[in-house]
Structure 1
Amino acid sequence: METSPLIDSLDHFLRHLTVQRRLSLNTVNSYGSDLRFFIEFLQKQHIDDPAHITAVEVRAFLKDCFAREIQARSNARRLSALRSFFAFLVLQGKLTVSPAAEIDLPKIGSILPGTLSVAEVDLLLVPPDAGETDPLLLRNAAMLHLLYATGIRVSELVNLPVQDCSLSSGHVRILGKGNKERMVPFNTEAGVRITAYLEQGRPVLLSGRSSRFLFVTKQGGAMTRNRFWRIIGELARQRGISKTVSPKTMRHSFATHMLAGGADLRALQMMLGHADIATTQIYTHVDKSRLKAGHQKFHPRG
């Protein structure tokens, strides 16, 4: 895109999200992507100044998105990004009122997260054979066990500093979204797998090099999120699990199984790092849906 008052305003907004609000790089990139779609649409209308944007252009943009068969959830996210952007411009004095203030979010259904059963998780977490010394197998087992034991995000897992994992206390220190810190406990089995990896796997992968990351690659750096997605998907297929399995599936499974076991919703909110408990409450719906399915299957008049 060529520079313009609108592009300059977007650059200032993204810096504001990064520096002032301290949002993650992924979140800032998501805002930038959605807003660039909007700016490209405006440029076709020969609009390059924020002061010339009205509700008419916002509605036309959303109508164009629907015409392109973009999902309602994506359009809702784009409108949310626009609202944040316009609120910033109002604060900057570049707008007197938000052009999106009177526009409602597209209605979207509540999508329940995919989860695994406890039996399927057990299949996925079958440990390497006794005496196994392959450093990659030891690393992958440790990562999977820690992921299911804590429910942390995949970005938090792959970037976890080695110093933030305490085997003595059985906790990991997580610096999550918005640089908010939380302590999440893990179980004994995860501790066993991490210990085996630290003693027999990580030194081999590093080959004398140093790294601040707990989980490292053969090159000595942190693993990418996409690489771990592939690892967990390949392992699920090898274990005969027909569902699509990702790190997010394990996070959802952790939350659902914790609630089914009687965990407190507030405690679960803290462990997952949710800013709003409403986000955590979706897992109560998952559990209720399973209860209903079980009731219909086994009740004599189901």
Structure 2
Amino acid sequence: MFIDRFIRYIKFEKRYSAHTVSAYQSDLDQFISFLNNPDNLTPAPNPEITHPSQITHHLVRNWMVELMNRKIIARSVNRKIATLRKYFKFLLQECIIEVNPASKITTPKIPKNLPVVVEDVKLSQLLDDSDVFSSDFKGVRDKLVIEMLFGTGMRLSELLGVKDTDVNLYEGTIKVLGKRNKERIIPVNSELKILIAEYQQLKKKQDFSGNNSLTLIVTDKGANAYPKLIYLIVQKYLSYISTQNKKSPHVLRHTFATSLLNRGADLNAIKELLGHANLSATQIYTHNSVERLKSIYKQAHPKA
């Protein structure tokens, strides 16, 4: 099905992040698994599907319906269909197929949910509490993960990609490689600068048995940090201050943006800090700000 060829293309030519490549691979594997199950194909294809040119608009739509029947959320369904569109577009460019069977698929609407955030005051208190984080390498590393996500608003994949050489403590900046391989420079506050320096000194003293990872954040054994590790760290510490179900690295990104907006930061500046391609993606945070104003109004105005 030329999937390996497509994966090499997005990995080496498009230079997508490892996280994005993994998601594309997973989506395509699921689609192929669906095609390989005769019960899913009505009517059953004759002959058996062995080439992408045999995949029709109806088969793609059947897969989308099957995903929705399994209660997969609309955002995930849309992402999987977007993967197919990208895959078939590549096959068109390579003259492997003549028609993109996913081009006319109408995907489900995504409900507009407000970004989930935690109270920034509680989060600041957590980070300032000397009893929460231990002073050994693991404790300082965990604190740095929370501080960087909350203090810079970077994405999980961006955090994992930051190298020691991307940190400029003299200038007080971190260079980040974002979506579409777009580099941006993020300023860091004085407390984060001190914490990074402390962590780097501890890291130099660790015996990692030959592991020579170039990334800033590493595992207890000195290997490259991975998404699950970051999730576990975030979930552990957010559980101290929040009872909400969602406790993910992206919650800290949302909290970063919402905190800046609530304190008067310009929306365009927030857009640049977050690495958004357009302002519409950043404007979702204005809804949280409006909700906050409504709450203040109801509490303070005698006619509310």
Q: When the two structures are superposed, what TM-score results if normalisation uses the length of structure 1?
A: 0.85
**Which residue in 2 is equivalent to 1:213?**
215
SS at match of 1:125: helix
Residue identity in the other structure for 1:86 = F
Give the whole-Å Cα distance in 2 for the aligned partners of 1:19 and 1:35. 18
User: Percent of aligned pairs with the same residue?
Assistant: 35
Match of 2:11 in 1: 18
Corresponding position: 1:204 with 2:205: yes
CA deviation after TM superposition for structure 1 residue 122, in Å = 1.5
Which whole-Å CA distance do the structure 1 matches of 2:275 and 2:113 have between them? 20
Amino acid in structure 1 at the alignment position of 2:71: E
* Runs of 4+ with deviation above 6 angstroms: none
Match of 1:84 in 2: 86
Residue in structure 2 matched with residue 248 of structure 1 by the alignment: 250
Distance 1:67 1:83 in 2: 21
Residues 41, 61 of structure 1: 8 Å contact kept = yes
Is the 8 Å Cα contact of residues 57 and 101 (structure 2) preserved in structure 1?
A: yes
Alpha-carbon distance between aligned partners in 2 of 1:213 and 1:87, rounded to the nearest angstrom: 34
Q: State the Cα distance separating 1:211 from its structure 2 match.
A: 4.7
Equivalent residues of 1:202, 1:215 under 8 A apart: no
Structure 1 residue 151 displacement after superposition: 1.0
Matching residue within 290, 293, 303 for 1:291: 293
Match of 2:181 in 1: 179
Distance 2:219 2:102 in 1: 46
Contact persistence 1:42–1:48 (CA under 8 A):
no
- CA-CA distance at 1:56 after TM superposition: 2.0
CA-CA distance at 1:97 after TM superposition: 2.5
Q: Is the 8 A contact 2:6 2:87 kept in 1?
A: yes
**Paired residue for 1:263?**
265
Displacement of 1:150 in angstroms is 0.9
The Cα shift of 1:106 comes to 0.9
RMSD of equivalent CA atoms:
2.5
2:163 corresponds, among 161, 164, 167, to 161
CA apart distance, 1:127: 4.5
Paired with 2:67 and 2:238, the residues of 1 have a C-alpha distance of: 36
Kept in 2, the 8 Å contact 1:151–1:251? The answer is: yes
The equivalent position to 2:197 in structure 1, one of 195, 198, 215, is 195
Q: 1:70 matched to which residue of 2? A: 72
- In 2, Cα distance between equivalents of 1:233 and 1:41: 33
Q: CA deviation at 1:172?
A: 0.6
Cα offsets for 1:220-239 (capped at 9, x unmatched): 233333223222322233x4
- Note closer, same or farther for the CA distance 1:218–1:20 as it changes in structure 2 (3 Å cut): closer
1:37 corresponds to which of 30, 35, 40:
30
Residue segments in structure 1 that go unaligned for 5+ positions in a row = 1-6
1:175, distance to aligned residue in structure 2 (A): 2.0
Structure 1, 218-227 or 202-211: larger mean CA deviation: 202-211
Normalising by structure 2, we get a TM-score of 0.85
Q: Which residue of 2 aligns with 1:231?
A: 233
CA contact (8 A) 2:126 2:241 kept: no
> Does the Cα contact within 8 Å between 1:233 and 1:245 map onto a contact in 2?
yes
Amino acid at match of 2:243: S
Q: Is 1:101 equivalent to 2:103 in the alignment? A: yes
**How far apart are residue 115 of structure 1 and its match?**
0.6
Does structure 1 retain, via aligned residues, the 8 Å contact 2:122–2:241? Answer: no
Are the aligned partners of 1:17 and 1:23 in contact in 2 as well (CA < 8 Å)?
Answer: yes
| Cα shift at 1:297 | 4.2
Find the aligned partners of 2:281 and 2:234 in 1 and give their Cα distance: 25
Query: Is this contact kept in 2: 1:176–1:273, CA < 8 A?
Result: yes
- Confirm or deny that 1:124 pairs with 2:126: yes
How many aligned positions are there? 291
- Residue in 1 that maps onto 2:116: 114
Mapped partners of 1:124, 1:34: distance in 2: 38
Q: Quick one: which amino acid aligns to residue 7 of structure 2?
A: L
- CA gap of 1:72–1:24, structure 2 versus 1, over 3 A, is same
Matched, 1:280 2:279: no
How far has the Cα of 1:55 moved from its partner? 1.9
Local SS of the residue matching 2:128:
coil
